[in-house]
Every structure is written in C-alpha cells, then in structure tokens.
Amino acid sequence: MEDILRRGDYPCGSAMKYRLSPNTRIEERNGDIYLISDAPVAILQINNALKELLQSIDSNPLSEPARHNDKILEQLAERGFLQSVRDTPITGISLPTVSIIIPVKDRAEELQRSLLSLALLNYPAELIETIVVDDGSSDDSAEIARKCGARVLSSGGVGLGPASARNVGARAASGEILAFIDSDCTASEGWLKELVPSFSDSFTAAVGGFVDGMCRDSSVDRYESVMSSLSLGNRERSSGDGDDTFYLPSCNLLVRRIDFMAAGGFRDQMHVGEDVDLTWRLRDKGRSISYLPAGRIYHAHRSSIRSFMSRRFDYGTSEGILQQLHPKRRKQMVVPPMLALILAFALISPLAGWYCLAAIIAVFLLDLFRVQQRLNKTSLSISFSTIAAGRLRAIGSLAYYLSFHVVRYYSLPLIAFALWIPWLWLPYLCTTLISSGVDFKLKKPNLSFVAFYIIYLMEHISYGTGVFWGCISRGSFRSYRVVLMNRMELNTQS
C-alpha cells in the first residue's frame, strides 16, 4: 500500500476520457477526502477540486473535462485509480484522409503480403493513399508495389534506412494522418478504423496499436509473440509532456501530419530508436500520444537465435544516443526504503542464516505498524490483513522490478565476475528466476519454462551488451543512471 499523499489545487483535463476503476472509491473522513483502491491497495488524499472532477467524470465518463492539465488524470490512470473510456468511433464524413507509408529494401515477398492485407482494410478506399519508399532494393520490390496499386518513390539512395525513407514518403503524402507500417508486417482489417477515432481529440498527435507476432513455428516466434519490445501489452495508455520513457513503435504508428512536420519527422541518421526519438519530441512539444491494444498488425519477427540476439543488441545500442538527445528522460524506479531493506536482508540470508530471517520479520512488522499508524489517523476502515497482503504484494513487485533491471543491464558483468567469485552465481540466479518467473506467469507463452528462461537470458544479455557498447561508442554512461524515489509522486503543475 502506498503512502498517503497530500497535494494542492488540481487544474484538470485529460487527453483521454476516464471513469473510476471498479475497485476504486472516494471516501471522506473527518473533513479529509481520500481516493481508495482496494486492489492493489492504494490511498491518496485529494482536495475538493479533484473530488468534484472525479465524481463528474465517473457520472458521465464520455464528457470532456477542461484541459488545463492532462497530467494528473494520466497519472491516476497509470496507478490504477482510473480506467479509460472511449467514444463510439467516428464515422462518415468526419473520417480523415490517411497516407500509409511503407519503407522497403529487398523484401519483395514480404511487401506483397503487406500490400495485400492493406487492400482488405475496413476503411473508405477513397480516403487512403499507399506510398512505398524503395530504399535501393536489388529485387523487384518496387515493381510489386506498383502492381499492387501503391505509389512508389525512391529514398534517394541505397540503404539510407527506414527513418530516411519514411520522411521521403511523409513529404510526398497528402493525407491528414500518416500511417506507418513496416514491409514485414500485415494489417488487420480494422487497423485504421480502430485507431483513427483517437484523432477526434485535437490534443492527440500520435497513436500506436497492438503489434502481434505473425508466426508461431519456432520457440523464438512463440517467445516474441508475448515478449516483443514492439508490443506494448493489453492496457491502454496515454501521455503528454513529462520525463517518463513512454513511446510508440514505428511499425504500427499513426501520426497527425501537421504534428509530424512540426516535429521535423524522424531523424534521417538514426537506424534504431528513431521511433522513440520522434514520439518523445512530439511529447516535448506539449502534444499527447496514445497506445491502444487495438488496431492490430502482425509482425514477422526474426525467428533465428542469431538474428533475434542481433536485433536485441541493436535495440540496446540506441539507449546511448537517446540519452544524449533527451537527457531529461531517465529511468525511474520507486524503491520504498523499508521494503528495500527487507529485500536486502533476504539477499544476504544464505550467508547470514536465521539472523536475517529474524531481521526480515522485524522490519516487516515495523513497516506494517508504521502504515497502520498512518491509517489510524484517517479513520479509514481497512483491515490489518488487507494491509499485510498489500505490503507483501508491494515487496513482490519491488523484487521483480529490481531483478528485471539487474538482469537487463548487468547480466554480462555479473556473469564475468561470477567466473572469478563463484558465490555471485546465487544472487544472479535468484534475480533471473524472479524476473523470468513473473514474466512467464503473466505473459503465458506457449513454451516450457526452461525454453522461455533460456531465450529470456539471451535477450537480456544481448540487450545489455548493446547498451554497454552504445555507451562506449558515445563516451557517456547516462543510460545507467536511475532516478530512485521512495514513493510515486503525482505532478500537478500546469
């Protein structure tokens, strides 16, 4: 359970429409107002202005609140107090024109498959133009694109990269919305119909949709189907300005053309991480980006171990340049001191024996007492067992996030040191089992745990090595800096 937070006035507004989550309620005790979530257990003290806003959107979740500040409702949704609600999709004359842009180099067969899927889109054909930008293909990609009815442009070179090719297409596009999809992807029939309505909100600059795996043949295919970094999961999300690292992948990305041009498009020279950079720049301009678990596209992931690890390495290298371009966007981690102390005792318990077990119990009871004392001041009726269960879940969550961070960024040095200091294998094994075990349980891949665990390690070792190499190349190790907080703060500044 989180600490009770006190805040001042709440200028309100949201790029999305919300209502209270089913497990959330508003209670008043002794003149104070509290927002309470039962699962997970969380309490937030609020003022009357925010109470009235939350009551108004809960009674009419499709109403549009004032837009003085999007941030507060986004963060309440992020923490589970709110859930998003969408209007009925826009139809008829209000539908915008869309330019679909596909960069390609030597992928004739994949491109044909992609274009055939676009021909089946459930969106008015007269409102769509399809532009294929050929980046110097040596096969018949361009000819196939023409036969499929696409407008074909040259990138102006050979192997200039997807970012540069997309910019060529965007400059030639006439649509109000630019829809980016990769040549090794196919679109579902509802791709545009499900994502375009988000642009009825004038504050929205970009929308991303669900990325699914196209194949399930190999173990890597089945792993990628649930663990791909291109897939952002099943929870809707929106964010405007701020210093978090939320972004949208370019293989399923719709951008308002006027915002794309105002931001300067993709950076031509970037061959990896260009989508992260673009969506961060859109947010830096005060615009909102949204992710929907809809508008599905199917991506032909790299299915061999070698290509899989190579791609993860490439992704890792992008962190160095992204940190230089966006120094304010740093990794953030909430580490409550008492819970961190419990985990520290658990980590050294194999060496210190039952003394650590006694310390763990003592610190846990002290933490429960501290939380109970704070709750007693509010007169809120929350049972001791509920508090205890909430703190146990919080310890588990902290163990996962810390383990994931260690495995993702420090696997290689830990393995190297463990070769010289054998006892380091134990904490490394624990962290890998915790993080992979949680992901295995939540993602439910069609794999045995052993197969999942092996691929999981290969992914994070490759990515972490890429991060290190990218930092060496750039002469900066900003990627390893983490902002530690003892609780999640709500930013209510307008």
What is the DSSP code string of 172-190? H---SEEEEE-TTEEE-TT
Question: Measured between alpha carbons, how far is 438 from 127 in angstroms, rounded to an integer?
Answer: 44
- The pLDDT value recorded for residue 17 is 72
State the residue for tokens 């990769």. Answer: 182
The residues, ordered by sequence, that sit 6+ positions from 123 with a Cβ below 8 Å of its Cβ are 95, 98, 191, 192, 193, 196
Q: Determine what percent of the chain falls in helix, strand and coil, rounding each to the nearest 5.
A: 50, 15, 35
Tell me the pLDDT tens digit for each residue of 57-83: 766 665 555 554 466 777 777 777 877
pLDDT in tens, 10-41: 333 334 677 777 778 888 877 778 888 776 66
Q: Element (H or E) spanning 443, and its range?
A: helix 425-443
Choose the weakest-confidence range: 84-88, 208-212, 463-467.
84-88
The token pair at 393 is 């879940």
Can you tell me the distance from the alpha carbon of 298 to that of 134, in angstroms, rounded to the nearest whole number?
A: 21
Average pLDDT over residues 183-201: 95
pTM listed for this prediction: 0.84
CA pseudo-torsion sign 317, 106, 277, 332: negative
Rounded Cα gap, residues 116 and 200, in angstroms? 28
- Can you tell me whether residue 239 is helix, strand or coil? strand
Higher pLDDT, 5 or 177: 177
Mean pLDDT estimate for the chain = 86
Which residues face 132 on adjacent strands? 102, 152
CA distance linking residue 57 with residue 308, whole number of Å: 45
* pLDDT, mean of residues 105-121: 96
pLDDT at 487: 64
DSSP state of 482: E
**DSSP 8-state assignment for residue 480:** G
CA 338, chain centre distance (Å): 28
Cα–Cα distance measured from residue 433 to residue 439, given in angstroms and rounded to the nearest whole number = 10
Lowest mean pLDDT among 39-43, 146-150, 177-181, 346-350: 39-43
Q: What pLDDT band is residue 465 in, cutting at 50, 70 and 90? A: very high
Backbone angles phi, psi at 374, to 5 degrees: -65, -40
The pLDDT of residue 67: 53
- Tell me the sheet residues that pair with 154: 134
Distance separating alpha carbons of residues 25 and 46, to the nearest angstrom = 12
Q: Is 137 in a helix, a strand, or coil?
A: coil
Mean pLDDT computed over 213-240:
89
Q: Assess contact for 240 and 203: CB atoms under 8 A.
A: yes
Looking only at the bridges linking them, the beta strands covering 24-29 and 32-38 are antiparallel
pLDDT at position 2: 35
DSSP-derived pairing of the beta strands 82-85 and 98-104: unpaired
Q: Which residues contact 372 (CB under 8 A, 6 or more apart)?
A: 384, 387
Distance CA 362, CA 368 (A): 10
Strand order in the sheet with 211-213: 185-187, 297-299, 211-213
Q: Among 3.90.550.10, 1.20.120.530, 3.40.50.300, 3.40.50.740, what is the CATH number of 95-303?
A: 3.90.550.10
Q: Are 297 and 303 in contact, with CB atoms under 8 Å apart?
A: no
- Over residues 368-395, the mean pLDDT reads 82
Q: Which of 277 and 25 is assigned the larger pLDDT? A: 277
Asked if the model's pLDDT at residue 6 lies above 50, the reply is: no
**Residue 189: which pLDDT band, with cuts at 50, 70 and 90?**
very high
